[in-house]
């Protein structure tokens, strides 16, 4: 694997050089993943935190906001730690707020809020579902109707059952990502209940 000096790495990052990005990922992601897992997160959390750190590093490098003498690797791991700790403190505050809210509301009020949120979540889901391409809509609809992957493959003229399984996974992941990127998702998952996806 090619080695980079700090200044070379910063220069390559501002040029969006793929080999420099791969270098950082190979060299640093295992450290970040280990740290996030140790601090109560999972692989997806580690991946999100790492991506955010790389984007922040890129922006700062592009805008010449970084001292050329910084240790890039330590800087990225440090950013990841700060981002994850901020996430944890927000989660803790949200959990405390939700507990207080549950104790302050009558059962009727809690049920009303839950029904309202459920309605809004369904609406949000349908909005994003309608944006999917026809293949994804068909695969997910068939899966939700209880069709087997063999049946889905046959009905959609896919080459195999495994392809149908993979297609369903990719479509679901795309849908979830689309919903989670919607500002309303955070409003509907943070106000009272836990996250809904």
The pLDDT of residue 37 is 92
Give the pLDDT score at 193.
46
- Residue 124, pLDDT > 80, answer yes
Please check the confidence at residue 182 and state whether its pLDDT lies above 70.
Answer: yes
- DSSP-derived secondary structure letter, 105: S
Has residue 94 got a pLDDT over 80? Answer: no
What pLDDT score does 196 carry? 46
Give per-residue pLDDT as tens, 17-35: 888 888 889 999 999 999 9
For residue 100, the tally of other CB atoms under 10 A from its CB is: 10
Rounded Cα gap, residues 97 and 167, in angstroms: 39
pLDDT of 112 strictly over 80: no
**3-state SS, residue 139:** helix
How far apart CA 84 and CA 82 sit, in angstroms, is 5
In this predicted structure, the answer to whether residue 154 has a pLDDT above a threshold of 90 is yes
Residue 119: per-residue pLDDT: 81
For the chain, the average pLDDT equals 83
Q: Residue 1's pLDDT is what?
A: 65
- CA 133, 138, 144, 147 dihedral sign is negative
Q: What is the pLDDT of residue 141?
A: 95
Percent of the chain exceeding pLDDT 70 equals: 87
pLDDT at position 110 is 66
pLDDT band per the 50, 70, 90 thresholds, residue 192: very low
Structure tokens at 72: 């890039």
pTM: 0.49
Confidence bin at 168 (pLDDT 50/70/90): very high
């Amino acid at each position: 694997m090619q080695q980079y000096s700090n200044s070379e790495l910063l220069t390559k990052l501002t040029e969006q050089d793929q080999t420099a990005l791969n270098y950082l990922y190979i060299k640093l992601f295992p450290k970040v993943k280990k740290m996030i897992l140790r601090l109560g997160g999972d692989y997806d959390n580690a991946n999100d935190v790492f991506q955010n750190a790389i984007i922040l590093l890129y922006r700062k490098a592009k805008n010449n906001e970084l001292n050329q003498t910084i240790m890039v690797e330590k800087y990225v791991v440090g950013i990841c730690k700060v981002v994850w700790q901020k996430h944890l403190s927000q989660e803790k505050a949200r959990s405390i707020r939700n507990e207080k809210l549950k104790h302050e509301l009558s059962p009727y009020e809690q049920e009303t809020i839950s029904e309202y949120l459920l309605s809004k979540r369904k609406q949000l889901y349908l909005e994003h579902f309608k944006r999917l391409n026809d293949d994804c809509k068909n695969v997910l609809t068939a899966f939700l109707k209880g069709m087997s992957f063999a049946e889905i493959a046959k009905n959609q003229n896919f080459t195999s059952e495994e392809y149908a399984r993979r297609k369903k996974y990719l479509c679901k992941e795309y849908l979830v990502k689309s919903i989670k990127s919607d500002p309303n998702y955070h409003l509907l998952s943070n106000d009272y209940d836990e996250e809904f996806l």
